Amino acid sequence: MSIEDEIGGWRRTHYSSQLNPRLNNEHVTLMGYIASIRDHGNIVFVMLADKDGEIQLVFKKGKGAGNSSSDNSTTTPTAVIDDGYTSIPFSKVKSLKEHSCIAVKGRVKVAPNAPKGIEVVPEELKILSLARSIPPFSVYSKTFPNLDLRLNLRAIDLRRYYMKTIFRIRHKVLKAIREFLDKEGFIEVNTPKIISTASEGGASLFPVFYFDREAFLAQSPQLYKEQLVTAFEKVFEIAPIFRAEPSRTNRHLAEAISVDVEEAFVDYKDVMNLLERMITYTIEYIVNNASDELKIVNPILTVPNIPFPRYTYDEVIDILRKNGYSIEWGDDLSSEHLALLGKVINGYYFIVDWPSSIRPFYTKNNGKVAEAFDLMYNDLEISSGSSRINKKEELIERLKIQGLRIEAFEYHLKVFDYGMPPHAGFGLGLERFLMTIARLDNIRDATFYPRDIDRLVP
Amino acid sequence: MSIEDEIGGWRRTHYSSQLNPRLNNEHVTLMGYIASIRDHGNIVFVMLADKDGEIQLVFKKGKGAGNSSSDNSTTTPTAVIDDGYTSIPFSKVKSLKEHSCIAVKGRVKVAPNAPKGIEVVPEELKILSLARSIPPFSVYSKTFPNLDLRLNLRAIDLRRYYMKTIFRIRHKVLKAIREFLDKEGFIEVNTPKIISTASEGGASLFPVFYFDREAFLAQSPQLYKEQLVTAFEKVFEIAPIFRAEPSRTNRHLAEAISVDVEEAFVDYKDVMNLLERMITYTIEYIVNNASDELKIVNPILTVPNIPFPRYTYDEVIDILRKNGYSIEWGDDLSSEHLALLGKVINGYYFIVDWPSSIRPFYTKNNGKVAEAFDLMYNDLEISSGSSRINKKEELIERLKIQGLRIEAFEYHLKVFDYGMPPHAGFGLGLERFLMTIARLDNIRDATFYPRDIDRLVP
């Protein structure tokens, strides 16, 4: 049967981060997975990793059975420690493999040559789960060329310290964003992901079989968050959005997390100010509260100045033409255009006042120019937003112009009969924002289990 | 053309909650929707509602045009205010309807007879959005019998103060839960909602057409959160789950928000302790930080004592039999059984140690009894959890026993080759938990836009 042990009554007393030389000679119970093993024959060094970091365990051969930790046997010439010897059968120690989950009871020892000036000498060992395979990457490697191999084994890929660091930062980014919006008086909402109609037009929807009806996965909470400002005025939602775009780029996902914000009685300029304050609040929070993580992924991160530079669409067209691109007023910006912009303009900046023809139907406009913006970081669009239309006739007119079926939006249009306030808002792509903070090249590493046209598993 | 005004350069200076008698004679700019109108002919009282509450506006006829606010015209016998008369054409005031969105510039006046001891005398008025219809319910009504009518007009239904209160509490519940889990060292994760395989068995899934493949909406993040503890040890996710159950009860939704928590190196008793601390932390937060809201929905809410009572499944069977129910060991509890329990046992309590045959395949068990629990509130199940199997052979065995296809879980099983720690966790239904805090009878009022077999719109 299994040579593995049950956890039983053992419980961790310390995380690796809680160990320090002041605990010298204290008994501790540690648990985690094995990051690495250095086997020197009669002495085996094990780096034990837990959620906070790692600690060196030292197993030495030559000690008898029994639970005593006193040094009552022959000394070993290679000894670097002078007591705390264990009753653990050495064959058990030798059976350990990297990535196995273990628990040890032992003593903390000051050890000037150990990675943190301390190590732990185990007196008891439980093998909670013995690894049968060794993954093709080390937990210490920052990069590994084969993305598919990593994603196929994503749970284990995430044990790499580099990946764990990204997601610790992600947690703090979410925390900072919510803290900011809460302080600003926004309430968190959740809107349905199974919907009857496209909110941004008909393209790029995943169909769902909903009981006996056809439905779709929401591309965005757009129409719902607009409706919710009628009662709550200031709302935000942080939730998945679904886009059936057959893109194979480093910046598109079929399922992503969107930070959606909507506010009544303001226009696009107000929410641009709000957005740039949210961005700087979050980055400042990360700089102040994730300095260890930033050392690994982005040591040069600094809080950008506000206001962010604002370029009108017209100015962007001028820049592109001066750089040899032929682009007509009214054209959307292609990835080539954005690549050029990213070389000319650095950091966070807005592009404002877009042609209304290339913005969604709900965008407020004067017939030609929309009160709309994109927030960019170099060549990467991380957010877009606008003032919204709050008059029913205007909205119906835009639906017609964009060739959408009025009847499909009846449920939304009727809200406008009951006093729809002027409002504005934006959606921020969480993964893309994280790319700018953690300096990631591929959006797939800003999410736990990426979804794209080629990948549905794991 | 439209008689409606643009917001232009006007911006709110105060929310209703920020007004008080110390601002007497100050100029303010207010915005909101009209909760009620009392038209006394030459004097019109308007209750203006914003996200925080409401304030009384007093419009009086008999003043001439011009922007002056000085009292330079004939006095009106019914005057209750002595200056601040307006240049607003009275026909514009008379055109106002409830629910219209307006903006006013005016002066604060101490008014002992007004609801808060103050009112505002508008000097300028913008009608930002004129209501064309009056909804069948008042913003002041706590209950309204026709649920369908309300849900069809949900955005406006949410303007009722009672509903706004529920969702302000909901925001604070989410905030408290995240605060608690963050302090406990958990990181927030997001797992895919589009998945290839059922996580709880094959029933109750919504199929999705994913590019050229069949996929499903996730019933729970179960297998993903289990995988993520291999790297992160302590994870939580607050996200939608999707269940195609054709239920028409007051406690089921097809789309709900689940608070999922998973932890490595612990068992079900540890996470029961964690869960009850999370519940009491949250309720304590609400009691301390939402006293105004509780006055409206649940003035008697108190923090429950911990530990919550724990009943074994065997004890529950005994209780049921003593009350005349014939139930066999191994039977699941029906809604009739739960109804009886809710009469015998009050408040929050656990039912533990369930027959393994009626728990999901990943539940740790001794072949007969599972290390599993449900958290109940009276007759309502609000959470369930367990120790999980962390040995591959055991998991394969349970998949077989429950008649599931091993191949469909290959992507999950292979993680167990790389050292899967012992772990345990739970899922808490956010809407059901909110029902217990805000004393709601119908789960549909614990969510913004409910989804069930009969409802996909709005």
Task: Check CB contact under 8 Å for A421 and B129.
Answer: yes
| Residue of chain A with shortest Cα separation from B253 | A192
Partners of B210 on chain A (C-beta within 8 Å) are 206, 244, 254, 456
Q: Which of A298, A347, A301, A251 is nearest to A142 (CA)?
A: A298
Which 3 state secondary structure label does DSSP give A28?
Answer: strand
Contact present, A384 and A375 (Cβ < 8 Å): yes
* Euclidean distance between CA atoms A308 and A198, whole angstroms: 32
The alpha-carbon gap from B137 to the nearest alpha carbon of chain A, in Å, equals 12
Partners of B126 on chain A (C-beta within 8 Å) are none
- State the virtual CA torsion across A418, A419, A425, A429 in degrees, nearest 10: 0
**Chain position carrying tokens 């303009």:** A345
Binning chain A into helix, strand and coil, the percentages to the nearest 5 are 30, 25, 45
Average pLDDT over residues B136-159: 94
Distance set, CA A420 to CA A227, B348, B379, B422 (Å)? 8, 42, 41, 53
Q: Which of A132, A80, A140, A73 is nearest to A111 (CA)?
A: A80
Partners of A195 on chain B (C-beta within 8 Å) are 456
Residue A294 CB contacts under 8 Å (≥ 6 apart), including other chains: A169, A286, A287, A301
Q: Identify residue A229 by its one-letter amino acid code.
A: V
Per-chain mean pLDDT for chain A: 93
Partners of A274 on chain B (C-beta within 8 Å) are none
Distance set, CA A227 to CA A2, A189, A262, B187 (Å)? 58, 12, 10, 31
**Chain position carrying tokens 């060992």:** A125
Average pLDDT over residues A252-264: 98
CA A348, A390, A369: angle at the middle one, nearest 5? Answer: 50
Identify which has the larger pLDDT, A3 or A280.
Answer: A280
Contact present, B376 and B262 (Cβ < 8 Å): no
Identify which has the larger pLDDT, A293 or A67.
Answer: A293
Contact present, A5 and A127 (Cβ < 8 Å): yes
Identify the burial level of B437 via C-beta atoms within 10 angstroms of its C-beta, where 0-12 means exposed, 13-18 middle and 19 or more buried: buried
Contact present, B274 and B199 (Cβ < 8 Å): no
Which of the four pLDDT bands, split at 50, 70 and 90, describes residue B144?
confident
**Which of B159, B185, B421 comes nearest A129 by C-beta?**
B421
Sign, CA torsion A236/A238/A239/A245: positive
The alpha-carbon gap from A421 to the nearest alpha carbon of chain B, in Å, equals 6
Element spanning A286, H or E: helix A268-289
Q: Are strands B213-217 and A255-264 parallel, antiparallel or unpaired?
A: unpaired
- State the virtual CA torsion across B343, B348, B352, B357 in degrees, nearest 10: 70
**Which of A7, A211, A420 comes nearest B267 by C-beta?**
A7
* Euclidean distance between CA atoms A100 and B420, whole angstroms: 8
Contact present, A453 and A247 (Cβ < 8 Å): yes
For chain A, the residue count is 458
Partners of B420 on chain A (C-beta within 8 Å) are 101, 129
- State the virtual CA torsion across B357, B359, B363, B367 in degrees, nearest 10: -20
Contact present, A124 and A89 (Cβ < 8 Å): no
Task: Check CB contact under 8 Å for A154 and B227.
Answer: yes
Name the superfamily (CATH) of residues A151-446: Bira Bifunctional Protein; Domain 2 (3.30.930.10)
Partners of B175 on chain A (C-beta within 8 Å) are 178, 182, 188
* Euclidean distance between CA atoms A100 and A102, whole angstroms: 6
- Work out how many CB contacts closer than 8 A connect A with B: 287
Task: Check CB contact under 8 Å for A175 and B188.
Answer: yes
Average pLDDT over residues B447-458: 97
What pLDDT score was predicted for residue B200?
A: 67
Contact present, A254 and A242 (Cβ < 8 Å): yes
Least confident piece of the model among A85-99, A158-172, A248-262 = A85-99
Residue A76 CB contacts under 8 Å (≥ 6 apart), including other chains: A42, A43, A60, A61, A62
Sequence spans of domains, chain B:
16-129, 151-446
Task: Check CB contact under 8 Å for A196 and B7.
Answer: no
Residue B77, pLDDT above cutoff 60: no
What pLDDT score was predicted for residue A169?
A: 98
Element spanning A196, H or E: none
DSSP-H helix ranges across A140-188: 147-152, 154-157, 161-183
| Cis peptide leading into residue B307 (ω within 30°) | yes
The alpha-carbon gap from B148 to the nearest alpha carbon of chain A, in Å, equals 14
| Residue of chain B with shortest Cα separation from A451 | B192
In a 13 Å sphere around the CA of B385, the CA atoms on its Cβ side amount to 32
Task: Check CB contact under 8 Å for A129 and B390.
Answer: yes
DSSP-H helix ranges across A290-391: 291-297, 313-322, 335-344
Eight-state DSSP code of residue A310: E
What pLDDT score was predicted for residue B388?
A: 98
Task: Check CB contact under 8 Å for A156 and B421.
Answer: no
Residue B54, pLDDT above cutoff 50: yes
Per-chain mean pLDDT for chain B: 93
Task: Check CB contact under 8 Å for B194 and A217.
Answer: yes
* Euclidean distance between CA atoms A355 and A173, whole angstroms: 33
CA A144, A147, A153: angle at the middle one, nearest 5? Answer: 95
Task: Check CB contact under 8 Å for A11 and B163.
Answer: no
| Residue of chain B with shortest Cα separation from A420 | B129
**Which of A33, A187, A224 comes nearest B171 by C-beta?**
A187
Residue B25, pLDDT above cutoff 90: yes
In a 13 Å sphere around the CA of A242, the CA atoms on its Cβ side amount to 21
Question: Could you report the per-residue pLDDT of B239-275, keeping only the tens digit for each?
Answer: 999 999 898 999 999 999 999 999 999 999 999 999 9
What pLDDT score was predicted for residue A145?
A: 85
- The most distant pair of C-alpha atoms in chain A lies apart, rounded to whole Å, by 93
**Which of B6, B239, B246 comes nearest A239 by C-beta?**
B239
What pLDDT score was predicted for residue A74?
A: 39
**Which of B155, B163, B192 comes nearest A227 by C-beta?**
B155
ipTM: 0.95
Distance set, CA B262 to CA A251, B24, B224, B349, B360 (Å)? 30, 55, 10, 20, 16
Q: Which of A110, A85, A116 is nearest to A22 (CA)?
A: A110
What pLDDT score was predicted for residue A201?
A: 64
What pLDDT score was predicted for residue A202?
A: 60
Task: Check CB contact under 8 Å for B31 and A215.
Answer: no
Question: Could you report the per-residue pLDDT of B86-111, keeping only the tens digit for each?
Answer: 679 999 999 999 999 999 999 999 99
Which 3 state secondary structure label does DSSP give A27?
Answer: strand
Element spanning A307, H or E: none
Residue B81, pLDDT above cutoff 50: no
Partners of B7 on chain A (C-beta within 8 Å) are 265-267, 422
Task: Check CB contact under 8 Å for B156 and A415.
Answer: yes
Which of the four pLDDT bands, split at 50, 70 and 90, describes residue A116?
confident
A248 is catalytic: no
What pLDDT score was predicted for residue A64?
A: 45
For chain B, what is the HEC assignment? CCCCCCCCCCCCCCCHHHCCHHHCCCEEEEEEEEEEEEECCCEEEEEEEECCEEEEEEEECCCCCCCCCCCCCCCCCCCCCCCCCCCCCHHHHHCCCCCCEEEEEEEEEECCCCCCCEEEEEEEEEEEECCCCCCCCCCCCCCCCCHHHHHHCHHHHCCCHHHHHHHHHHHHHHHHHHHHHHHCCCEECCCCCEECCCCCCCCCCCEEEECCEEEEECCCCHHHHHHHHHHHCEEEEEEEEECCCCCCCCCCCCEEEEEEEEEECCCHHHHHHHHHHHHHHHHHHHHHHCHHHHHHHCCCCCCCCCCCCEEEHHHHHHHHHHCCCCCCCCCCCCHHHHHHHHHHCCCEEEEECCEHHHCCCCECECCCEECEEEEEECCEEEEEEEEECCCHHHHHHHHHHCCCCHHHHHHHHHHHHHCCCCEEEEEEEHHHHHHHHHCCCCHHHHCCCCCECCECCC
Partners of B273 on chain A (C-beta within 8 Å) are none
Q: Which residues of B are catalytic?
A: 243, 245, 251-252, 381, 384, 432
Residue A76, pLDDT above cutoff 60: no
Partners of A155 on chain B (C-beta within 8 Å) are 227-228, 230-231, 415, 418
> How many C-beta neighbours within 10 Å does residue B294 have?
19
Average pLDDT over residues A264-276: 98
Backbone angles phi, psi at A120, to 5 degrees: -120, 130
Contact present, A128 and A148 (Cβ < 8 Å): no
Q: Which of A271, A423, A184, A419 is nearest to B15 (CA)?
A: A184
Element spanning A59, H or E: strand A53-60
Average pLDDT over residues A218-227: 97
**Which of A6, A155, A206 comes nearest B228 by C-beta?**
A155
Task: Check CB contact under 8 Å for B265 and A7.
Answer: yes
A384 is catalytic: yes
Pick among 2.40.50.140, 3.40.50.970, 1.10.1060.10, 1.10.3330.10: CATH of B16-129: 2.40.50.140
A245 is catalytic: yes
Backbone angles phi, psi at B35, to 5 degrees: -80, -35
* Euclidean distance between CA atoms A109 and A102, whole angstroms: 19
Task: Check CB contact under 8 Å for A419 and B178.
Answer: no
> How many C-beta neighbours within 10 Å does residue A407 have?
9
Contact present, A176 and B434 (Cβ < 8 Å): no
What pLDDT score was predicted for residue A235?
A: 98
What pLDDT score was predicted for residue B13?
A: 98
Contact present, B195 and B241 (Cβ < 8 Å): no
Q: What is the secondary structure of A378-394 as a DSSP string?
A: TTEEEEEEEEE---HHH
Residue A94 CB contacts under 8 Å (≥ 6 apart), including other chains: A39, A44
Which 3 state secondary structure label does DSSP give A157?
Answer: helix
Average pLDDT over residues A175-196: 98
